[in-house]
Amino acid sequence: MPSPGGRGKRSPGRFPAIVYDFNAYDQLAALGEAASFFVTRGYVAAVCNVRGSGDSPGYLDPFSAQEQHDNYDLIEWLARQRWATGRVGQMGVSYGGHSSLLVAVNKPPHLAAIIPVDGISDWYENTIYRGGMVENFQACKENVWLVAGPWQHGMPAGQYADIGTGAFLAWWDHWLARRPAPLPAKEVTTFETPTGGWAQYDDWPPLAARTRKLALSGDGGLAPGQARPFRAAYTVNTEPAPGTPEERLVFRTDPLGTDLVLAGVITATVRTTFSAADGNLAVVVSDVAPAGTATRITQGWLKASHRAGHERPAQVRPGVAYDLRVQAWPAHYRIAAGHRLEVTVASDDYPEIDSDAPAGKVILTRGAVTLTVLS
């Protein structure tokens, strides 16, 4: 457990504590080194393996009641130490992000704040990480700040538009050390990709956002208006490889006359018939440049038997039409004038999800996409 006195030194006084990335990956040395940034600035950092991982005895059961209880006990143990102020925080990425959210739900008396990075609210939702963090903010706006950047999975450090570790330090200084430290001016800080830069809002979606509905058409068009009947079909891709053109449907807008800023969720609603007793819908939203190159913006996935929820699958009858709603991950993205918005519908999204849908055909007879936009 690194302490503020540095290696081999003893420091008088009392210090706030940080549980640094409570996970099962046996990376104590690397995590301890990363935590040293906070240690040299007046914090005690606790880095440990969860039960059943690394050198910790017991049985590994990720995110179980036992593991959550262990995390709770760790926080309360830290708070009782003679060198402790009694104020404890927890942070972590991915596994550690999940742990941070779960321990906050259990409300240890001495847990003052958390920083979950790439944490989710529900293992089974199709909006993993990005959607989960937005949903967490929307559920607890009174005490949650949301920072959304253009990062790959992992800590932002070293990535494009890196916010650095200073923002994390300011958060701990404010909530744990009670030092004068600035919080973000607004509760939502988000990066407008690809090059729009950082913006701050009072809420998410932004209060100025509005919805725009685009209808799918049988000729591959995507245009404003009400959804109308059409018929288009594709073959299910059952191979662990990218699908062929016959294994997806593509819909595109005309070239945009002005920039279009997406700022929130994108939802596709499609009337779908499967030839098998179940099926997947993968909806991918892309930005298509005048030269024809496509850049993925976001995506959403739904298994037809989970259309009413994940706890109890619903029957899918071959040949029966179902109105299915697929919600894509939230996005903050500017599509430039002259570009097109593209929506692809398929049964797979290689390599993001497995091609595990039953073989057969999928028929679409109606569809629309609802966008949340700023302009």
pLDDT tens-digit readout, 24-41? 999 999 999 999 999 999
Cis peptide before 351 (omega within 30 of 0): yes
Residue 131: per-residue pLDDT: 81
Element (H, E) at 71: helix 65-80
Q: What is the mean pLDDT of residues 74-87?
A: 97
How would residue 1 be classed by pLDDT, with cut points 50, 70 and 90? low
Any idea which of 126-130, 229-233, 364-368 has the lowest mean pLDDT?
Answer: 126-130
The pairing of beta strand 340-346 with beta strand 248-252: antiparallel
Residue 127: per-residue pLDDT: 44
Q: What is the mean pLDDT of residues 138-147?
A: 90
pLDDT at 42 over 90: yes
CA–CA separation, 303 vs 311, rounded Å? 13
Q: What is the largest distance, in Å, between two alpha-carbon atoms of the chain?
A: 75
How would residue 234 be classed by pLDDT, with cut points 50, 70 and 90? very high
Q: Which residues, including other chains, have CB under 8 Å from residue 30's CB and lie 6 or more apart?
A: none
Residue 120: per-residue pLDDT: 72
Q: What is the mean pLDDT of residues 88-115?
A: 96
Q: What is the mean pLDDT of residues 44-50?
A: 95
How would residue 136 be classed by pLDDT, with cut points 50, 70 and 90? confident
Q: What is the pTM of this model?
A: 0.88
pLDDT at 315 over 80: yes
Query: Of all residues in the chain, what percent carry a pLDDT higher than 70?
Result: 95
pLDDT at 125 over 70: no
Residue 89: per-residue pLDDT: 98
How would residue 158 be classed by pLDDT, with cut points 50, 70 and 90? confident
Q: What is the mean pLDDT of residues 148-169?
A: 88
DSSP string spanning 126-173? SSTTHHHHHHHHHH-TTS--EEE-S--SS-STTSTT--TTHHHHHHHI
More confident residue, 229 or 128: 229
Q: What is the mean pLDDT of residues 9-26?
A: 86
Residue 135: per-residue pLDDT: 85
All structural domains of the chain = 15-201 (3.40.50.1820), 210-373 (2.60.120.260)
Q: Which of 36, 42, 37 is nearest to 167 (CA)?
A: 37
pLDDT at 276 over 70: yes
Q: Which residue has the tokens 């430039």?
A: 336
Residue 12: per-residue pLDDT: 62
Q: Which residue has the tokens 């409570």?
A: 22
Phi-psi region of 34 (alpha: psi -120 to 50; beta: other; left: phi over 0): alpha
CA–CA separation, 52 vs 46, rounded Å? 18
pLDDT at 273 over 80: yes
Tokens of 294: 């496509």
CA–CA separation, 65 vs 61, rounded Å? 9
Q: How distant, in Å, are the alpha carbons of 74, 80, 178, 179 from that of 13? A: 21, 14, 15, 16
Residue 123: per-residue pLDDT: 40
pLDDT at 157 over 90: no
Q: Give the pLDDT confidence of 181-208 residue by residue, as tens digits.
A: 988 999 999 999 998 899 999 999 999 9
Q: How far is CA 23 from the centre of its chain?
A: 18
Residue 8: per-residue pLDDT: 44
Query: Of all residues in the chain, what percent carry a pLDDT higher than 90?
Result: 79
Q: How distant, in Å, are the alpha carbons of 28, 147, 258, 291, 338 from that of 255? A: 52, 32, 9, 12, 5
Q: What is the mean pLDDT of residues 83-106?
A: 96
Residue 253: per-residue pLDDT: 98
pLDDT at 10 over 60: no
Residue 153: per-residue pLDDT: 83
Q: What is the mean pLDDT of residues 257-280?
A: 96
